[in-house]
Amino acid sequence: MTDIFTHWTPAITADWATKPVSLTHTLHTSPLFSDAALAGLIDRYPRGQYGLIHTGGQTEKRRWQSGEIGKMPGKDVIDLIGQGDRNGQGRMWLNLRHVTDVDPAYAELLDQMFSEIASHTGDLGTIKRSMGILISSPGARVYYHADMPGQALGQIRGRKRVYVYPAKAPFLTPEGLENIATGGLELDLTYDPAFDQHATVFDLEPGQMLHWPLNCPHRVDNYDVLNVSFTVEYLTPAIRRHQIVTAANAVLRRHLGMQPKAATLDGPSYWAKAALNAGVRRSGLLAKASSKKPASFVLDSSAANGIRPLDAGSQS
Ligand SMILES: [Fe+2]
């Protein structure tokens, strides 16, 4: 099998997990990411396992709706996303979540990726890993947010600018991270354009992948071209504990008025927090805020702009 990471340098190994690093990969040349393979994948993707988001045109920032692919062939779905806002119909992105669960060929690829990473950094000890494929319109944006799992973002086609910010205040506050850990909307992090001076900025081209330290806030601007990217997420025992402690801290802060200390990852404090977290989840005290919206449109080749609104569940 061809190597995925062909130009790994000692500097990447030295900076891994402490700084954002840019890697060279070969996935854009893999048959699994050809236009035909992606179209076929969309055709057979299980309903409910993908996210299809439509955002308004330039004047309607931060407005988005969730939709379904319907019967539109995968090839046409990609073409439609590729048109972007050129006809004023707004932008779209399709997230083929957990493609590694849908097709074992991608899981094999991800296994190879982690074994190559391990050969350079030492075994990360992942207990969970997954890959998703993101197909997004020219000019589409992902707003400032942070995620709980370990993460990487790779480019297959098109070009995007990625801004990665330090995982500490003021870029990421303890309250902001607690909100994410308890299932709040990731977009609730406060963004200030002045943060950009402290961002590491990458123009991601096909054959490049970024990996950043845990919880680093980031935002993404597509250039004016169809983008195909892949996302990698992973959990290690330490990341999972960090997640549990952060969620428990949210309870201490919000419901008991305490000022919790930063995460302690072992010892009695950790286990007390883990128990608290489990209890709270059972009691429903922290209702998991869902970022899922009911579908308000379906793709339809016969409809104007290829989008047909659905009556029920219209959202703004
Ligand atoms: Fe993200």
Look at 27-36, 98-107, 211-220, 257-266 and tell me which has the smallest mean pLDDT.
257-266
What mean pLDDT do residues 159-183 have? 91
Considering only residues 275 and 306, tell me which one the structure prediction assigns the higher pLDDT.
Answer: 306
Global pTM reads 0.87
142 and 270 housed in the same domain:
no
pLDDT of residue 67 exceeding 80, the answer is yes
pLDDT of residue 292 exceeding 70, the answer is no
Residue 62 CA to ligand 1 center (angstroms) comes to 16
What's the pLDDT score for residue 253? 75
Residue 40 CA to ligand 1 center (angstroms) comes to 26
| AA letter at 62 | R
Q: How many domains does the chain have?
A: 2
What's the pLDDT score for residue 93? 92
Q: How confident is the model at residue 125 (pLDDT cuts 50, 70, 90)?
A: very high
Contacts of 177 (CB under 8 A, 6+ apart): 146, 215, 246
Look at 64-78, 259-273, 297-311 and tell me which has the smallest mean pLDDT.
259-273
Residue 41 CA to ligand 1 center (angstroms) comes to 23
What mean pLDDT do residues 125-148 have? 93
pLDDT of residue 289 exceeding 80, the answer is no
What's the pLDDT score for residue 35? 96
Within a domain: 88: yes
Query: What is the domain-level CATH number for residue 32?
Result: 2.60.120.650
Residue 274 CA to ligand 1 center (angstroms) comes to 25
190 and 49 housed in the same domain:
yes
Q: Ligand 1 being an ion, which residues bring their Cβ within 5 A of it?
A: 147
Residue 301 CA to ligand 1 center (angstroms) comes to 31
Considering only residues 48 and 293, tell me which one the structure prediction assigns the higher pLDDT.
Answer: 48
Residue 98 CA to ligand 1 center (angstroms) comes to 14
Residue 26 CA to ligand 1 center (angstroms) comes to 22
Please provide the average confidence, as pLDDT, over all residues in the chain: 86
213 and 267 housed in the same domain:
no
Residue 145 CA to ligand 1 center (angstroms) comes to 6
What's the pLDDT score for residue 239? 93
Within a domain: 315: no
What's the pLDDT score for residue 41? 98
Q: How confident is the model at residue 71 (pLDDT cuts 50, 70, 90)?
A: very high
CA 136 to chain centre: 13
103 and 47 housed in the same domain:
yes
What are the tens digits of pLDDT across the range 223-242?
A: 999 999 999 999 999 999 88
Considering only residues 74 and 254, tell me which one the structure prediction assigns the higher pLDDT.
Answer: 74
117 and 92 housed in the same domain:
yes
Within a domain: 37: yes
Segment 54-59 long-range contacts (CB within 8 Å, at least 24 positions apart): 54/90, 54/91, 54/92, 54/297, 54/307, 55/90, 55/91, 55/92, 55/93, 55/140, 55/141, 56/90, 57/85, 57/88, 57/89, 57/90, 57/91, 58/85
109 and 94 housed in the same domain:
yes
Residue 125 CA to ligand 1 center (angstroms) comes to 22
- Residue-number span of the structural domain to which 75 is assigned: 10-236+295-309
What's the pLDDT score for residue 175? 86
178 and 299 housed in the same domain:
yes
Rounded CA gap, 235 and 122, in Å? 15
Residue 110 CA to ligand 1 center (angstroms) comes to 18
254 and 110 housed in the same domain:
no
